Amino acid sequence: MTAPKALDAPHRTPGILGPEYRTATLGILLVVTLIAFEGMSVGVVMPVIARELNALDLYGLSFSAFLIASLFMNVVAGLWSDRRGYRLPFLAGVVLFVIGMGLAGAAVSPGMFLVSRAVQGLGAGASIVALYVMIARVYPVDVRPKAFAAVSAAWVVPAMVGPAVAGTVGEHLGWRYVFYGIIPLVVPALAMLVPALRMGSPSDAEPGTGPRSRPVAMTLAATATAGGAGLLLHGADRLHTDLAPAAVETVAGLALLFYGLHRLLPPGALRFGRGLPTTVLMRGFYSAAFFGVNQFIPLALHEVKAFDPTAAGIALTTGALGWSAGSYLQSRRPGAAHRRIRLGAGCLTASILICTLCVLPGVTGWIAVPAWIVAGFGMGFGITTVSVLAMRQSPVNEQGANSAALSVSDQLGSALSVGIGGAVVNVIGHSPSEIASGFLVISGLMAAIALAATLLAGRTR
C-alpha cells in the first residue's frame, strides 16, 4: 500500500498563530491593544481632565478631534498603501501616535490637549488602515476572518485592565501618566512586525485606476470631509448661543461632507446601493450608535450616580468583553453575512434602550453593566462581519481604498455622534440632573441609528 498523495489530504486552514503568521499576528495584536488601551483610558479619565483643564464644554470635541484627524489620515494611508505598500504609512502612523501621547501628557490648556488628540488621531488612522491592508496582503482569504476576529479580541485585555489601571493611575499619579505609560510599549510591537513590514512595499497588485485612486482628488475630498465634520460640530455646539453664524457653519459643514463622502465612499454608498456601498456605510452606523453612548457612560455615572473613575469604567470593560465574545462567535458561525449584521444591530438597539435606565432616579447605575455586555456582543458579532464582508467584496487593487472607506465611515460616525452628544450636553447643562437628561436624549438618538442599521442590513447582500 502506498502512502496517500498530498493532493488527497484534506485541506486544513492554517492558524493565525502558526509558524508562518505568528510574529505578524502578535505584532498586529499588540499595536491594536495599545490603540485600544488609549481609547479606554481616555474615556475613563476624561471627566478628570475636563475638570482640571476647565474644559467640560469641550468634552465631546476632545473625542471628535481624534476621530476627525483619524478620518483624514485614513484616506491618505489608504492611497499610500495601494500605491506603495503598507510599510511607510504604518511606521508614520506609529510615530505620530507616540508624539500625540507625549503632547497629551504635557498639555496645560484645553487647546493644547485638543491638538494632542488630533495628532493621536492622525497616527491611529494611518496605523489602523495599514494594518487592515497588512491583513489582506499577509493572510490568505480563508484565514482573514480569524485575523479580524483576533483584532477585535485585542480590545479585551485593555478593556479588562484599562479602565481600572487608568482610574488608579489617574487617582494616585495623575492623568498625565495614563498617556506617558503607553509610549514605551510601542517598541516591542514594532520589533514583532519587522518580518511583515518587509513584505509591505510595494503592492503586488496593479494600482487602481478608478476615481478613488487619484491622490490629489482624494486628499481634497478627505480635507473637505474632515473640515466639514469640524464645521458641522462647531456649528451644532453654538446653535444655542449664536444662532445665525452657527446655522451658516452647520450648512457649510453638511455641504463639504456631501462633497467629500461622494468621492471617498464606494459609488452608490449615499444611496445605500446593494453590496459593498451599504456594507461600508454599515460600519458608520454601528460605530455612531455604540460610541455615541459609550463615551458618555463614564460621565453619566460619575456625575449622576457619583461613581469614582474606576467604577465608572467597569461598563466599558464589560462592553469590550461582550465585543470579544461576539467577534469570536461570528468567525465560527456559518450563514449569510447580512443576517449576522442584522442580529448584531438588533442587540445594539436593545442594549442602548436598557442603558438609558442607569441615570433614572431609583435605578442603580450598575444596570449599565449587563446592558453594555449585550451592546459589545452586538458590535463584535456585527461590525467584525462587516469588515470581513467588505474585504471579500473588494478587488485586490482597491483594498486600501475600501479599508480607508471603512475607516472613514467608522470615524465619521463616531465623531459626529460623540460631537453631537457633547453639543446636547452643553445645550441642556452640566448639573447632575441636566447631564442625566442629556444622556437620555443622546441614547434615544443612538438607538434610532442602531435601529436603522437593523433595517438596512439586508442591502449588504
% of the chain with per-residue pLDDT over 90: 21
Q: Return the higher-pLDDT residue of 259 and 404.
A: 259
Q: Return the higher-pLDDT residue of 430 and 363.
A: 363
Residue 450 resides in a domain: yes
Q: Return the higher-pLDDT residue of 226 and 210.
A: 226
What's the rounded Cα separation, in Å, for the pair 213 and 222? 13
Residue 432 resides in a domain: yes
Distance (Å) of CA 182 to CA 39, 254, 426: 11, 36, 31
pLDDT in tens, 5-44: 444 444 455 677 777 777 777 888 888 888 877 777 777 7
Residue 21: CB partners within 8 Å, gap ≥ 6? 14, 15, 138, 139, 143
Check which CATH number belongs to the domain holding 190 and give it. Answer: 1.20.1250.20
pLDDT in tens, 270-300: 898 888 999 999 999 999 999 999 889 988 8
Question: Any idea which residue has 445665525 for its cell?
Answer: 244
Residue 1 resides in a domain: no
Residue 161 resides in a domain: yes
Distance of CA 401 to the CA centre of its chain: 17
| pLDDT of 210 above 50 | yes
Residue 85 resides in a domain: yes
Residue 11 resides in a domain: no
Residue 323 resides in a domain: yes
Predicted confidence at residue 8, as pLDDT, reads: 46
Predicted confidence at residue 284, as pLDDT, reads: 92
Q: Return the higher-pLDDT residue of 221 and 354.
A: 354
Range of the domain at 183: 19-199+212-460
Give the helix, strand, coil percentages of the chain, each rounded to 5: 80, 0, 20
Predicted confidence at residue 451, as pLDDT, reads: 96
Residue 6 resides in a domain: no
Predicted confidence at residue 4, as pLDDT, reads: 46
Structural contact between residues 64 and 419, judged by C-beta atoms closer than 8 angstroms: yes
Q: How many domains does the chain have?
A: 1
